[in-house]
C-alpha cells in the first residue's frame, strides 16, 4: 500500500513531522517497507517553447527544434513527434534528467550527425497518461509566462510504501490508516461529512444477481450518470495519483482509482450504452471467453463470478473488467458499480486464471460490506463535478444481508494476556476511535465490530488491537533464567543423543530420511510385519511407512556408490513402524558400511568390510553407553535379510529378555536384486526401546584412552574348538587372562573343513600384548603365551592347532 503524508492529511489533523509518522506507523503494526522521494530529479523538467523547427538533413521523419528553456542559450533538440511545431509549449528534459517511464538517463547525443541537447517529452514518458503519439501540449494561456520554470510541482511529502498484512484490509485505504494513527494518538481523525446523491431519477439499467450455488456476489450497487463529458482529470486529481506512482488515464477511470485508494472501495465504470438489456451477475459456464482490460483473452471455467449482459461476459466480478464495456473519452453515459464479492471466490478465480489486480488484491482480503453506498456517492458526485451529467438514484441488489458481529470482551483478559494493565476507560476510548461500539453487560462488554474489520472474530483479537495501539514496548521483558539446575532431557533422550554421537565417532555419516519409503525396497526388510500403505503419499515412490531404516539407507547407499563413493558408512536414528496405530513403532539406530577397509593405505593390506567390523562397532557403542560387555550374549538367529552364516543378534545378558541389536552382512540376494555395485555390505540395528537404561549416568561413561610408551608385540593363536563354542566366548576368555597386558584381540579366521575333526572348527586370533610400565622381555612374552593357551584349554576344552 503506497501513501503520502499529504494524502493522509486529507483525513488526519496532525502537526507532527513525517519522521514521526514513519516511527508511529511501524509502532502500530503497519510496517514501513520503503520511503522514496518521487520529486527527486523532477525539478530538471522545464516548461519550454519551440521557437523554430527545421527538417532534419539526414532523416525524413525527424525535426531539429530551437527550444526556449528560459536560458540565454537556445537549445537544439532533435524530435520525431508529428506535433512538434513552432510556438508549441511543451516539456523539456535536459541532459542528466531521468525519464520517469523507462528510467533512462539522458545524455548529449548525435542523432544522424546532428547533436541533440536533451529531449521533448510525451505525456506517456512523463507518466502523465497513456498518450504517446506526440510530445506534451501545454496550454499557452496557462503556461506562456512559465517558460523555464519547473513543470512538476515539488512535493515535500515522500512516497511511503507500507507492508499491510492480509488480515488488515481496512488499511488498504488511506482513511483506514488515518483511523489507526488517530487511535494511537498521532493526530485526530477528521469527521468528513458524507455527501449523498439527491436525485429523483431512477437507475434504468436492470441488475439481477442469480441466486445459485457458489454465487460469488452478495451485493451489487449501481448508479447511472448520464450526459457526461469524459475528459482529462483536473490537476489535483492527477497529482494525487501521480504522488503514489499511479498513471492518470481519464477523469472517469481516475475517479474510480482515487476512491479505491482513498477509502478502500473498489469501483468499476461501464459505458452504459454498451450494455445490452441489463446486467446479470451469475456463475460462468465452462468455455466462455472474454477480452479483459489488460488486452488478454481469458477462457473461463465453471462457477466463476461474472458480470454479464445479453451478449455475454462483461467482466470478472471483483477482479477485472472487459474491453467491450470499458469507458473511453467519448463515453456519454456511465454506470458505476460498487459491489461485494466473496473473498474465497475471488481468490480461487484469480489463481486459476493467473490474474493480479488492485481490485482483486482488496476483495480477496475482505472489503467493508457497508461501504457500497458511500463509494457510489463519492464517485458519482466527483464525476458530475468534473465531467458534468445527471445522476440517478442508487440501486442496490442483494442476496444476503450483512449484520455487524458482536463479541464479549472482559477487560481483565487484557492484563492476563499482555502482563500489564491499562484503565478500562482508556480501552473503551481506543476501541471507540477504531470504530467499535460498546455496551456494558455485567462485568463484560458487548462489542459491535465495525464492518471494515472482518479480522476481528474473538476476544483475543480485541486484546491484540489494544496492545497494538498502546504499544508493544509496554510489555515487560523478562530475561530467561540462565542457571539450569537440572537437565531438561530425560535419561532416554540422553541415551538417544549419546548413541547418535557414539556411532558418528566411528566414521559413520548421519543420514536423515523420510519415515516413509519405497515399497520395493521395504519388501526386502519388512520381515514378518505387514506393509503399511499411506493413503495420500507425497510421491508414488514413497508410498509406505518403513518397517526398517535399512529400506531408506540402502537406497541412498546405492545412489552414492553409483556416484563413485566406494567405501562409505552411513547411519540414521529414528522410528520404524510395525503397525498403523499410534505408538506402534520402535526407535532404532541403524547403520550400513560398504566397500573395503584400508583401500588406499600403505600400512595395512586392503580387505572387504566384514561381520567382525560391524560387530565391533555395535559392541563398542553399547559399552561406551555403559553396558557390561561381559554380560552380553550373542547368537546367530537373525532376520532373513541378513546373511545366515555371517550375522548375529545381541542380548544385554544371557536372560535373553529382548534383542538389543542385530548385526551382520546384508543377504547377497538383496544386494543382487537392487543391483548394488559393492564388494561387501554389512549393517546393524540397535533397538533403543529394548535397552534398559545403564545404572551410571552417561556423563560418567568416559572412555579412558592411554597410549603406552613401550613396544607392543603381536602373537597369533589358532585353537580347535567345539562348534558350539562362540567366537566371542573365546575372545572373552583370552581377554581375561591379563587385562593389564592384553590390549587388543582380533579374530582373523574361522575355518571348518579339511584336516579339522567333525563337529569342530578352527578359530584364529591375533593378540596384542603391551605393557604400560616396561618393555616386555622374551620370558614375559613366553609366560603370557603359555597362560593364554592353558586358560583357553581349561575353560573351553580347546586345543592349540599345530
> Are 92 and 118 spatial neighbours (Cβ–Cβ below 8 Å)?
yes
Q: Is the pLDDT of residue 703 over 60?
A: no
Neighbours of 72 (CB within 10 A): 4
Residue 618 falls within a domain, yes or no? yes
Do the Cβ atoms of 663 and 686 come closer than 8 Å? no
Residue 239 has pLDDT above 90, yes or no: no
Query: Tens digits of per-residue pLDDT, 489-514?
Result: 888 888 999 999 999 999 999 999 99
Question: Distance between CA 256 and CA 293 in Å, rounded?
Answer: 15
Element (H, E) at 5: helix 5-8
Same domain, 101 and 163: no
pLDDT score for 264: 94
Q: What are phi and psi of 129, to 5 degrees?
A: -165, -175
Looking at residue 169, the DSSP 8-state letter turns out to be G
From the list 671, 640, 684, the residue with the least C-alpha distance to 527 is 640
The alpha carbon of residue 789 and the mean position of all alpha carbons in its chain are separated, in whole angstroms, by 69
Distance CA 646, CA 642 (A): 8
Side-chain-side CA neighbours of residue 575 (13 Å): 12
Are 597 and 609 spatial neighbours (Cβ–Cβ below 8 Å)? yes
Alpha carbon separation from 256 to 299, 308, 334, 376 (Å, rounded): 27, 20, 12, 10
Digit-coded pLDDT (tens) for 285-326: 999 999 999 899 999 999 999 999 999 999 999 999 999 999
Task: Provide the sign of the torsion angle of the four alpha carbons 383, 385, 386, 389, taken in this order.
Answer: positive
User: What is the bridge-based pairing of β-strands 31-36 and 159-163?
Assistant: antiparallel
CA–CA gap between residue 629 and residue 160 (Å, rounded): 72
List pLDDT tens digits, range 660-672: 999 999 999 999 9
Residue 606 confidence (pLDDT):
86
What's the confidence (pLDDT) of residue 541? 86
Greatest mean pLDDT among 137-146, 214-223, 648-657 lies in 214-223
Separation CA 597–CA 679 (nearest Å): 11
Q: Which residues face 769 on adjacent strands?
A: 713, 742
Q: What is the DSSP string of 74-134?
A: PEEEEE--TT--TT-EEEEE-TT-B-TTT-PBP--EEETTEEE-SEEPPTTTTTS-S--SS
Q: Residue 572: helix, strand or coil by DSSP?
A: strand
| Residue 597: per-residue pLDDT | 86
* pLDDT tens string 556-578: 999 999 998 889 999 999 999 99
Are 609 and 696 members of one domain? yes
pLDDT value at 253 more than 90: yes
- Is 723 inside any structural domain? yes
Q: Which domain holds residue 247?
A: 207-398
CA–CA dist 39, 150 (Å, integer): 11
List the one residue out of 751, 750, 743, 733 whose CA is nearest residue 787.
733
486 in any annotated domain: no
Secondary structure class of 137 (helix, strand, coil): coil
One domain, residues 515 and 603: yes
Q: Which sign does the torsion angle of CA 301, 305, 310, 315 carry? A: negative
Q: Is residue 151 domain-resident? A: no
Asked if 668 and 739 sit in the same domain, the reply is no
pLDDT, mean of residues 53-69: 92
The CATH number for 523's domain is: 3.30.930.10
Backbone angles phi, psi at 54, to 5 degrees: -130, 150
Note the pLDDT of residue 158. 84
pLDDT band, residue 696 (cuts 50/70/90): low
Long-range contacts from 579-586, C-beta under 8 angstroms, 24+ separation = 579/530, 579/532, 580/532, 580/545, 586/687, 586/688, 586/689
Whether 61 and 111 have beta carbons less than 8 Å apart is answered as: no
Task: Kindly state whether residues 562 and 655 are assigned to the same domain.
Answer: yes
Last residue of a domain, one of 146, 171, 197: 146
Q: Report DSSP letters for 685-751, one per residue.
A: EEEGGGPPPPSS-GGG--------SS--EEEEEEEEEETTS-HHHHHHHHHTT-TTTEEEEEEEEEE
Residue 245 pLDDT class (50, 70, 90 cuts): confident
Question: Alpha-carbon distance 450 to 468, whole Å?
Answer: 17
CATH code of residue 164: 3.30.56.10
Question: What is the per-residue pLDDT for 145?
Answer: 87
Number of helices (H), then strands (E), in the chain: 19, 43
Query: What pLDDT does 156 receive?
Result: 62
CB 395 within 8 A of CB 201: no
| pLDDT tens by residue, 776-796 | 889 989 999 999 999 988 888
CATH number at residue 769: 3.30.70.380
Residues 52 and 142 in one domain: yes
Nearest residue to 275 (alpha-carbon basis) of 242, 312, 309: 309
**pLDDT exceeds cutoff 80 at 412:** yes
Q: What pLDDT, in 10s, does the model give residues 100-115?
A: 888 889 999 999 999 9
Do residues 248 and 334 share a domain?
A: yes
For the segment 178-208, what is each residue's pLDDT rounded down to a tens digit? 999 999 999 999 988 888 898 889 999 999 9
Q: How far apart are CA 52 and CA 663, in angstroms?
A: 98
Considering the domain architecture, whether residues 658 and 744 belong to the same structural domain is answered as no
Question: In terms of domains, do 171 and 274 share one?
Answer: no
Give the total number of structural domains in the chain: 6
Indicate which CATH number applies to the domain containing 220. 3.50.40.10
Contact 92, 46 (CB under 8 A): yes
CA 717 – CA 801 distance, rounded (Å) = 8
Asked whether the predicted pLDDT for residue 437 surpasses 80, the reply is yes
Query: Quick check: is 301 in a domain?
Result: yes
Please, which residues have CB within 8 angstroms of residue 519's CB and are 6 or more apart in sequence?
A: 531, 533, 543, 544
Would you place residue 601 in the very low, low, confident or very high pLDDT band (cuts 50, 70, 90)? Answer: confident
- Whether residue 40 is predicted with pLDDT greater than 80 in this model: the reply is no
Q: Using 50, 70 and 90 to split pLDDT, how confident is the model at 410?
A: very high
**Mean of all residue pLDDT scores within the chain:** 90
Is residue 202 included in any domain, yes or no?
Answer: no
- Could you identify the residue written with the cell 583370552? 734
Q: What is the CATH number of the domain that holds 91?
A: 2.40.50.140
pLDDT of residue 701: 52
Which DSSP state fits 145?
A: G
Among the listed residues 283, 286, 282, the one whose alpha carbon sits nearest the alpha carbon of residue 303:
283
pLDDT over 90 (residue 434) = yes
Q: What is the DSSP string of 620-680?
A: HHHHHTT--GGG-EEES---TTEEEEEEEEEESSTT--S--EEEEEEPHHHHHHTT---S-
Q: Is residue 197 part of a domain?
A: no
Read off the pLDDT of each residue in 152-166 and give the average, rounded to a whole number.
82
Which pLDDT score is estimated for 341?
A: 94
User: From the centroid of its chain, how far is CA 332?
Assistant: 48
Q: 268 with 288, same domain?
A: yes
Mean pLDDT, range 255-277, rounded to an integer: 94
Asked if 137 and 88 count as a contact pair (C-beta separation under 8 A), the reply is: yes
Residue 155, pLDDT score: 66
Residues 173 and 111 in one domain: no
Residue 698, pLDDT above cutoff 70: no
List pLDDT tens digits, range 464-492. 999 999 988 888 888 877 776 677 788 88
- Are residue 230 and residue 335 in the same domain, yes or no? yes
Judge contact between 398 and 209, C-beta under 8 A.
Answer: yes
Q: Is 482 within a domain?
A: no
Q: Domain ends where: 676, 700, 724?
A: 700
Amino acid at each position: 500500500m503506497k501513501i503520502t503524508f499529504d494524502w493522509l492529511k486529507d483525513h488526519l489533523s496532525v502537526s507532527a513531522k513525517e519522521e514521526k509518522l514513519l516511527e508511529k506507523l511501524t509502532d502500530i503494526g503497519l510496517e514501513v517497507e520503503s520511503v522514496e522521494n518521487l520529486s527527486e530529479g523532477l525539478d530538471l523538467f522545464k516548461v519550454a517553447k519551440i521557437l523554430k523547427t527545421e527538417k532534419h538533413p539526414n532523416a525524413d521523419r525527424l525535426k531539429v527544434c530551437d527550444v526556449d528553456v528560459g536560458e540565454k542559450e537556445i537549445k537544439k533538440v532533435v524530435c520525431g513527434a508529428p506535433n512538434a511545431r513552432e510556438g508549441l509549449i511543451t516539456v523539456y528534459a535536459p541532459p542528466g534528467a531521468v525519464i520517469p517511464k523507462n528510467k533512462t538517463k539522458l545524455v548529449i547525443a548525435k542523432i544522424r550527425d546532428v547533436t541533440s541537447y536533451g529531449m521533448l517529452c510525451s505525456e506517456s514518458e512523463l507518466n502523465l497518461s497513456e498518450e504517446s503519439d506526440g510530445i506534451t501540449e501545454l496550454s499557452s494561456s496557462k503556461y506562456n509566462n512559465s517558460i523555464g520554470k519547473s513543470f512538476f510541482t515539488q512535493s515535500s511529502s515522500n512516497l511511503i510504501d507500507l507492508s499491510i498484512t492480509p488480515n488488515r484490509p481496512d488499511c488498504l485505504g488511506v482513511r483506514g490508516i488515518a483511523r489507526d494513527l488517530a487511535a494511537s494518538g498521532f493526530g485526530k481523525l477528521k469527521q468528513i461529512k458524507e455527501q449523498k446523491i439527491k436525485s429523483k431519477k431512477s437507475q434504468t439499467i436492470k441488475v439481477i444477481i442469480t441466486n445459485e450455488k457458489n454465487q460469488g456476489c452478495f451485493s451489487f450497487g449501481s448508479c447511472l450518470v448520464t450526459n457526461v463529458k469524459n475528459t482529462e482529470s483536473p490537476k489535483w486529481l492527477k497529482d494525487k495519483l501521480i504522488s503514489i506512482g499511479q498513471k492518470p488515464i481519464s477523469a472517469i477511470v481516475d475517479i474510480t482509482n482515487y476512491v479505491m485508494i482513498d477509502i478502500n472501495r473498489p469501483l468499476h465504470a461501464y459505458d452504459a450504452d454498451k450494455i445490452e438489456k441489463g446486467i446479470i451477475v451469475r456463475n460462468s459456464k465452462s468455455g466462455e471467453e472474454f477480452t479483459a482490460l489488460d488486452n488478454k483473452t481469458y477462457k473461463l471455467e465453471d462457477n466463476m463470478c461474472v458480470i454479464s449482459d445479453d451478449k455475454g461476459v462483461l467482466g470478472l466480478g471483483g477482479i477485472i473488467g472487459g474491453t467491450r464495456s470499458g469507458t473511453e473519452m467519448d463515453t456519454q453515459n456511465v454506470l458505476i458499480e460498487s459491489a461485494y464479492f466473496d473473498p474465497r471466490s475471488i481468490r480461487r478465480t484469480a489463481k486459476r486464471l493467473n490474474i493480479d489486480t488492485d481490485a482483486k488484491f482488496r476483495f480477496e482480503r475482505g472489503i467493508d460490506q457497508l461501504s457500497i453506498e458511500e463509494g457510489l456517492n463519492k464517485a458519482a458526485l466527483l464525476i458530475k463535478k468534473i465531467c458534468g451529467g445527471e445522476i440517478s438514484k442508487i440501486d442496490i441488489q442483494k442476496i444476503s444481508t450483512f449484520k455487524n458481529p458482536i463479541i464479549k470482551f472482559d477487560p481483565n483478559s487484557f492484563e492476563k494476556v499482555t502482563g500489564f494493565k491499562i484503565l478500562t476507560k482508556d480501552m473503551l476510548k481506543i476501541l471507540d476511535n477504531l470504530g467499535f461500539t460498546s455496551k456494558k453487560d455485567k462485568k463484560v462488554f458487548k462489542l459491535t465490530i465495525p464492518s471494515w474489520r472482518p479480522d476481528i472474530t474473538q476476544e483475543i483479537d480485541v486484546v491484540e488491537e489494544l496492545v497494538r495501539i498502546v504499544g508493544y514496548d509496554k510489555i515487560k521483558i523478562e530475561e530467561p533464567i540462565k542457571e539450569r539446575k537440572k537437565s531438561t532431557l530425560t535419561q532416554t533422550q540422553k541415551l538417544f543423543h549419546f548413541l547418535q554421537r557414539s556411532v558418528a565417532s566411528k566414521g559413520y555419516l548421519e543420514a536423515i530420511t523420510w519415515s516413509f519409503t519405497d515399497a520395493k525396497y521395504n519388501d526386502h526388510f519388512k520381515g514378518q510385519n505387514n506393509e503399511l500403505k499411506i493413503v495420500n503419499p507425497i510421491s508414488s515412490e514413497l508410498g509406505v511407512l518403513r518397517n526398517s531404516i535399512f529400506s531408506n539407507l540402502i537406497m541412498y547407499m546405492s545412489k552414492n556408490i553409483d556416484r563413485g563413493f566406494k567405501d562409505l558408512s552411513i547411519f540414521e536414528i529414528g522410528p520404524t513402524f510395525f503397525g498403523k496405530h499410534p505408538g506402534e513403532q520402535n526407535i532404532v539406530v541403524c547403520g550400513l558400511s560398504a566397500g573395503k577397509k584400508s583401500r588406499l593405505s600403505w600400512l595395512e593390506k586392503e580387505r572387504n568390510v566384514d561381520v567382525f567390523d560391524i560387530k565391533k562397532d555395535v559392541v563398542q557403542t553399547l559399552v561406551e553407553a555403559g553396558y557390561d560387555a561381559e554380560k552380553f550374549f550373542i547368537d546367530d538367529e537373525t532376520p532373513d535379510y541378513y546373511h545366515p552364516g555371517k550375522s548375529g543378534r545381541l542380548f544385554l545378558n544371557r536372560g535373553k529378555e529382548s534383542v538389543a541389536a542385530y548385526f551382520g552382512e546384508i543377504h547377497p540376494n538383496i544386494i543382487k536384486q537392487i543391483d548394488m555395485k559393492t564388494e561387501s555390505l554389512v549393517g546393524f540395528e540397535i533397538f533403543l526401546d529394548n535397552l534398559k537404561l545403564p545404572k551410571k549416568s552417561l556423563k560418567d561413561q568416559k572412555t579412558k584412552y592411554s597410549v603406552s610408551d613401550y613396544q607392543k608385540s603381536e602373537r597369533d593363536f589358532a585353537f580347535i574348538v567345539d562348534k558350539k563354542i562362540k567366537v566371542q566366548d573365546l575372545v572373552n576368555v583370552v581377554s581375561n587372562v591379563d587385562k593389564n597386558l592384553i590390549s587388543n584381540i582380533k579374530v582373523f579366521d574361522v575355518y571348518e573343513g579339511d584336516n579339522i575333526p567333525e563337529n569342530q572348527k578352527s578359530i584364529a586370533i591375533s593378540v596384542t600384548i603391551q605393557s604400560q610400565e616396561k618393555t616386555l622381555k622374551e620370558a614375559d612374552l613366553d609366560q603370557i603365551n603359555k597362560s593364554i593357551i592353558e586358560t583357553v584349554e581349561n575353560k573351553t576344552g580347546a586345543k592349540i592347532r599345530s
